[in-house]
Amino acid sequence: SEVTFIDFHGTPRKVEGEDGESLMQVALNHLVPGIDGDCGGAAACATCHIYVEAPWQEKLPAMDAQERSMLDLAAGCDERSRLACQVRLNAALSGIVVRTPEAQH
Ligand code: FES
């Protein structure tokens, strides 16, 4: 599936990920700047904070309490915020576009 990461300058990077991979893994595999994934995907660091906009946001599974509480600690968190390590690719998400926050650049 195709994923586009847009950095805070507005530069898009379009990469390919496998279904089942998290957006954090896809970003690391392609050296996408703005996503560090320091905790290895345990929803425990918030260095994989991303913004997901409509129409993609409603296609994602609901976030759990752990993701919610980590995002509450993340700089610049808003209603578009998700943790990239908690979003796994599937066919319905092919073409998803996400933004990385300025604080992670
Ligand atoms: Fe640490 Fe996602 S990689 S919260």
* pLDDT of 98: 98
Q: Rounded CA gap, 46 and 19, in Å?
A: 22
Which whole-number Å values give the CA distances from 90 to 10, 13, 15, in the listed order?
25, 19, 14
The band of 95, judged by pLDDT with boundaries at 50, 70 and 90, is very high
Q: Which residues line ligand 1 (CB under 6 A)?
A: 24, 37-39, 41-48, 70, 83, 85
Task: Output the CA 24–ligand 1 centroid distance in Å.
Answer: 8
Q: Model confidence over 65-94: pLDDT tens digits?
A: 999 999 999 999 999 999 999 999 999 999
Does the ipTM surpass 0.90?
Answer: yes
- Rounded to two decimals, the pTM is 0.95
Which residue, by CA, sits nearest to atom 3 of ligand 1?
37
Task: Please tell me whether residue 83 adopts helix, strand or coil conformation.
Answer: strand
DSSP H or E run through 26: helix 23-29
As given in the structure block, the two tokens for residue 6 are 């847009």
- Tell me, in angstroms, the distance from the centre of ligand 1 to residue 46's CA: 5
Atom of ligand 1 nearest to the CA of 22: 2
Ligand 1 centroid from CA 41, angstroms = 4
**Residue 25's pLDDT band (cuts 50, 70, 90):** very high
- Give me the domains of the chain, ranges plus CATH numbers: 2-104 (3.10.20.30)
